[in-house]
Homo-oligomer: A and B are copies of this chain.
């Protein structure tokens, strides 16, 4: 059977999660099961962490270059988080959209709020830890950060989580598999939103033409 479903309803997904929520694991699993869904690669002035690759995890640039791009209006959104700049370049997003790909923007609530203001047809998803106690446990478990940093991240996390009303969907990460399944369901459901069906949709077009 020819697939006559509309191809022009690609999704722009804004995904946020406070540190320690498990976002990295979730995103890695998403990449595995759905390589067709692309992660937008942001620009940042933060130095690469171990295992992070240029052009894959981030475009790592210096502060001077970042500010030059910002001045030229090359960013869809940009933010100052944990002492570094982060930004999504218009050109990055455009390349994905031109190929009809679904794109995920990983942003903090500050970035998500900027995208909201642009009134793009985006889907906003907030991943939360199951509880504050669990968040604290996960942050400590990493063992890579000082007590001061942990408390800083917990405080930032609580402030971030208070922004949950910014988002269309909230997913508490009880288990990675369950969370990934829920995310895939949200993506699938959103593809069927009537607001994304235009007269280009074969069935609807068919019906309208027949009048």
Q: Which of B5, B192, B201 contacts A186 (CB 8 A)?
A: B192
Residues of chain B contacted by A211 (CB below 8 angstroms): 158, 162
Q: Is A4 an interface residue (CB 8 A)?
A: yes
Q: Is A13 an interface residue (CB 8 A)?
A: no
Residue of B nearest to A171 (CB): B192
Residues 152-171 (chain A) with a chain B CB within 8 angstroms: 158, 161-162, 164-165, 167-171
Q: Is A190 an interface residue (CB 8 A)?
A: yes
Residues 111-162 (chain A) with a chain B CB within 8 angstroms: 126, 128-132, 158, 161-162
Q: A164-B197, A185-B185 are in contact. Are A192 and B169 (CB under 8 A)?
A: yes
Residue of B nearest to A3 (CB): B174
Q: Is A203 an interface residue (CB 8 A)?
A: yes
Cross-chain contact B186 with A182 (CB below 8 angstroms): no
Q: Which of B172, B207, B210 contacts A203 (CB 8 A)?
A: B172
9 contacts between A and B (CB under 8 A): A4-B172, A132-B210, A158-B207, A161-B203, A164-B194, A164-B197, A170-B194, A170-B197, A189-B190
